[in-house]
Chains A and B, each alone.
Chain A
Amino acid sequence: MAKAKSAYSIPGKKGKLDTHIIVVWVDNEAGVLARVVGLFSGRGYNIESLAVAEVDPKLNISRITIVTTGTPQVIEQIKLQLKKLIPVHKVADFMRNDKKVIFKEMALFKVVGNNSKRKKALNACKKYNAIILDKTNKSCVIQITAMRREIDLMAKNLKRLGLVSLSRTGAVAMTRGADTFR
């Protein structure tokens, strides 16, 4: 074994990383997002994407959806640490491949090019609920809603069809069926 030149222990084995979607219901007050995000950065957790907006203006509740990766132990810590924050009401955790949960992200593509290229671009987007939001004789803005990897793929494919600008949201999640998360 190598001679450890530290007063701290050497790192142990790293576990397998899983992708999870964590949904947090919080009081919509000043600094609440900083508390949640600060917890992730302060403890060295990952944030792959983040979506946040108020969902109940009467009770001032915001819903934060965070896509993160970590070992099962880290994911457990993330949930428990989040629950300790004073403005946090509840925390839900879904595996990315959970069939009972819908995950969606939205992306806006600006495509600049001739008519045939724009048409091809639109066609390529069709299976992802494509909507044209703006159109000129040189360009168009297409909105799609899809999974993360699908959007990644579309962004790659549209490059040769004149994609000049891409804007996308973090994932949002909702359970299927009549039940809601308590």
Chain B
Amino acid sequence: MSKLYSGAEIVFKCLEDQGVDTIFGYPGGAVLPIYDELKNFSSVKHYLVRHEQGAGHAAEGYARSSGKPGVALVTSGPGATNIVTALTDAYMDSVPIVCISGQVPTHLIGTDAFQEADTTGITRPCTKHNWLVKDVKNLAKVIHRAFEVATTGRPGPVLIDIPKDVQFQKTSYTKYKKQKKLNGKTKNNFNQAEIDELIKLMSNSSKPIFYTGGGVINSGPKASTLLRELVYATGFPITSTLQGLGAFPGNDNQFIGMLGMHGTYEANNAMHDCDLMINVGARFDDRITGKIDEFSPKSKKVHIDIDPSSINKNVKVDLPIVGDVNDVINAILKTIKKKKPNFGKSNKQKISKWWEKIEKWRSVRSLDYINSEETIKPQYAVQRLYELTKDKDTFITTEVGQHQMWAAQHYKFDKPNRWMTSGGLGTMGYGLPAAIGVQVAHPSKLVVDIAGEASVLMTMQEMSTAVQYSLPIKIFILNNEYMGMVRQWQELLHDKNYSESYTAALPDFVKLAEAYGCVGIRASTPEELDDKIIEMLNTERPVIFDCRVDKIENCFPMIPSGKPHNQMLLGPKDQKDNKITGKGKTLV
């Protein structure tokens, strides 16, 4: 008879077979048998967080920066409910997470036992799938299936709920062999005729644009390489969503900046006026489209996406291509090489007028701001951070708000998987624990969380985790004492009624850093900013950087609510120059 293993042992056997070497978690009554086994599996390193939400976001940061699934281990009841935000975040942004939660013993389920919660019920709408394992014989099968579901098709979070008695029960374990044919739910479902049709549209177009998203990143680094090849081969302009930044070099001339609510003037106008829009792995999110009835009215729309339910969800498209971005671009490139080897050259003339138009929009310089010698402008802080870190292979995470948009606008990424931000759910408090996950995956790399003071306080306790494991993350706080984006919307939409958006009592972040056992640095003037940033970069320990920025700066350009792409609100500089301050305000 083969050796018998307990459920807890099987959890680790499965993790080993899946090649998992890192888990983020927090122990508790219902997962103690699993924690007890930890000592016997040296290949799996556990990182103790300070709150389960931190474990979830750390797993997300780990997954997004490494391309591997992130694993979190939490206890029943509050442990599971605390990680729900992170699971929802991962679901919205398609991040592969495997969450293992403990549950009360099977005979107590449904009795309102201590620390019991209907975990599979609570997490059903925020996971790709979840399982309650009531029999240890199913455990290995379920765990392996969970990894398969999380990582194939459109990636996403899954949860496995394991009652405590199942963790003790014994059964045999057979080594897992990876099957070639993976989850049949979402796979390539395109044909050559569709590719040919796309190439026909591309050759006929005189105002084309690539609109790329997180799907390119999720498709793996190879997809980014192929995308670059395709964009260079065609000479078309390319814009990217928040999640897609890094798939194409941010400082390349063909890149016309991020699009959407706080995207560049040139990107949004090009989206509005184009005659061919090629969406690669993006999902026509409402922050991107603006007013949907007037979204890019004159264009043929092509949508490349691995998830068939993304097609025609928000915007009706003319040519859907369902498949993995990597495989689709590969097919496009092959066809171009075979049938139209001179595509780039023959096309150049045709789209030259289009480029002229784009250059005109570009000359508006919509990301410009009025700099100051007295106060640090937040945009300036991000720009200086970029200039001083661009030669290192830097990983950036963010929280959510104005600082996130400024980071997206002013930090230029040239590689995929270097930019981790909560886009779909917009989770304040994401960046700090995500930075921990990124640093764990890339111990020798520079990891910076560009943060806001309000967001970062939501998960500040994880600094303690960073200190415990000597993870030298840099928390770069753009501190304006306001929930800046809330204040901006109140200014623009609610007659400057700044209801509860000012934090009247904030901790002294330098002292707070010291209390956590890391390093605190403060910069208050533009003059000292560079030196302080360099001091931060030269510190080999975790740093909280309190960057005191202009308190009332707003994030521009902006598509006001209910407006299409070509009616952007530009920054104060432009408004002053063109004397449209008053008109600009009534636009909102």
Instruction: Report which A residues bind B (CB closer than 8 A).
Output: 1, 3-10, 12-13, 30-31, 34-35, 38, 42, 73, 76-77, 80-81, 83-86
Contacts and interface: CB of A to CB of B under 8 A. Distances in A.
Interface string B105-138: 0000000000000001100110011001000000
A8 B426 CA distance: 14
A10 B120 CA distance: 35
A84 B286 contact: no
Contacts of A31: 120-121, 124, 132
Given A8-B561, A30-B132, A35-B124, A73 B312 contact: yes
A9 B561 contact: yes
Contacts of A38: 124-125
B291 A9 contact: yes
B308 A7 contact: no
Q: Is the interface of A mostly helix, strand, loop or mixed?
A: loop
Question: Which of A4, A30, A73 is most buried by chain B, counting CB atoms within 10 A of its CB?
Answer: A4
B291 A10 contact: yes
Interface residues of B, number: 30
Contact of B286 (A8, A13, A76, A80): A8
B102 to A, nearest CB: 18
Contacts of B124: 31, 34-35, 38
A12 B120 CA distance: 36
Contacts of A86: 128-129, 149, 185
B489 interface: yes
B309 interface: yes
A85 B292 CA distance: 28
B293 A13 contact: yes
Interface in B553-578: 560-562
Given A7-B489, A35-B124, A84 B307 contact: yes
Contacts of A9: 286, 289-292, 561-562
A7 B186 contact: no
13 contacts: A9-B286, A9-B291, A9-B562, A10-B561, A10-B562, A34-B124, A38-B124, A73-B312, A77-B312, A80-B311, A83-B185, A84-B185, A85-B129
A12 B125 CA distance: 26
A77 B312 CA distance: 8
A6 B561 contact: yes
Contacts of A12: 291-293
B493 interface: yes
A3 B312 CA distance: 29
Interface of B: 120-121, 124-125, 128-129, 132, 149, 185-186, 286, 289-293, 307-309, 311-313, 316, 489, 493-494, 560-562, 588
Taking each of B186, B309, B313, which has the highest tally of chain A beta carbons within 10 Å of its own beta carbon?
Answer: B309
A108 B172 CA distance: 52
B239 to A, nearest CB: 19
Contacts of A77: 309, 312-313
A7 B313 contact: no
The 7 lowest CB-CB distance pairs between A and B, nearest first, are A80-B309, A4-B562, A86-B129, A12-B293, A10-B562, A4-B561, A42-B125
Contacts of A80: 308-309, 311
A80 B120 CA distance: 23
B568 to A, nearest CB: 15
Given A30-B132, A86-B185, A5 B312 contact: no
A86 B560 CA distance: 39
Given A7-B493, A9-B291, A34 B121 contact: yes
Nearest to A5: B493
A76 B312 contact: yes
B481 to A, nearest CB: 22
A83 B185 CA distance: 8
Contacts of B561: 4-10
Contacts of A7: 489, 493, 561
A92 B309 CA distance: 16
A3 B124 CA distance: 38
Contacts of B149: 86
Contacts of A34: 121, 124
Nearest to A86: B129
A84 B291 contact: no
A1 B586 CA distance: 12
Contacts of B311: 80
Given A9-B290, A34-B124, 9 more contacts: A1-B562, A6-B493, A9-B291, A12-B291, A13-B293, A30-B132, A31-B120, A83-B309, A84-B186
Nearest to B125: A42
A9 B286 CA distance: 8
Contacts of B185: 83-84, 86
B272 to A, nearest CB: 15
A134 B454 CA distance: 69
A5 B309 contact: no
Contacts of A81: 309
B308 to A, nearest CB: 5
A167 B588 CA distance: 54
B120 to A, nearest CB: 6
A182 to B, nearest CB: 15
Nearest to A4: B562
A81 B128 CA distance: 11
Nearest to B495: A5
A6 B261 CA distance: 13
B492 to A, nearest CB: 9
Nearest to A42: B125
Contacts of B129: 85-86
Nearest to A80: B309
B567 to A, nearest CB: 12
Contacts of B120: 31
A73 B313 CA distance: 7
Contacts of B493: 5-7
A4 B494 CA distance: 11
A34 B130 CA distance: 12
Query: Most chain-A Cβ atoms within 10 A of its Cβ — which of B132, B289, B290, B308?
Result: B308
A10 B564 CA distance: 11
Contacts of B125: 38, 42
A124 to B, nearest CB: 45
B107 to A, nearest CB: 16
Contacts of B307: 84
B446 to A, nearest CB: 34
Contacts of A8: 286, 561
A5 B128 contact: no
A182 B405 CA distance: 48
Contacts of B289: 9
A84 B309 contact: yes
Among A30, A77, A84, find the residue whose CB has the most chain B CB atoms closer than 10 A.
A84
Nearest to B261: A7
